[in-house]
Amino acid sequence: GAGVSQSPSNKVTEKGKDVELRCDPISGHTALYWYRQSLGQGLEFLIYFQGNSAPDKSGLPSDRFSAERTGGSVSTLTIQRTQQEDSAVYLCASSLGGQRGAGELFFGEGSRLTVL
């Protein structure tokens, strides 16, 4: 597709359940990011992947959060044993990457997670 695609767009789950959020980046983009945005707040960095390098997981809030990127393309963010404070919009973004560091990010529309 032309842009970053995220699914599902909305997810309502019960406390304690596991959820998976998917991100399809723009074809050819080597860098992929996950951010979390709570209501009315800024973006909280979670993790990014750059090419074949080890991902930067420094923003993951707990060991209940994990992410993988298969074949350098699609990424899945998994939240285990969800808690109510995990309720937020999870935004994925991709960029061209390269040696010069972070440039323009292209964002998906986000996955809104509600934990009851």
Partner 1 sequence: SQQGEEDPQALSIQEGENATMNCSYKTSINNLQWYRQNSGRGLVHLILIRSNEREKHSGRLRVTLDTSKKSSSLLITASRAADTASYFCATVSGAGSYQLTFGKGTKLSVIP
**Would you tell me which residues interact with partner 1 (CB under 8 A)?**
4, 31, 33, 35, 41-43, 45, 48, 50, 56, 91, 93, 97, 99-110
Residue in this structure with the two tokens 């723009």, named with its chain if needed: 26
* Residue 48 or 86 having the CB closest to partner 1: 48
* Residue 74 or 109 having the CB closest to partner 1: 109
SS (H, E, C) 43-110: EEEEEEEECCCCCECCCCCCCCEEEEEHHHCCEEEEECCCCHHHCEEEEEEEECCCCCCCCCCEECCC
The least distance separating partner 1 from the CB of residue 32, rounded to whole angstroms, comes to 10
* Residue 79 or 108 having the CB closest to partner 1: 108
* Residue 60 or 91 having the CB closest to partner 1: 91
The least distance separating partner 1 from the CB of residue 46, rounded to whole angstroms, comes to 11
Cα–Cα dist 71/13, whole Å? 29
The least distance separating partner 1 from the CB of residue 39, rounded to whole angstroms, comes to 11
Phi, psi at 109, each rounded to 5°: -80, -10
Cis omega before residue 61 (within 30°)?
no
The least distance separating partner 1 from the CB of residue 67, rounded to whole angstroms, comes to 15
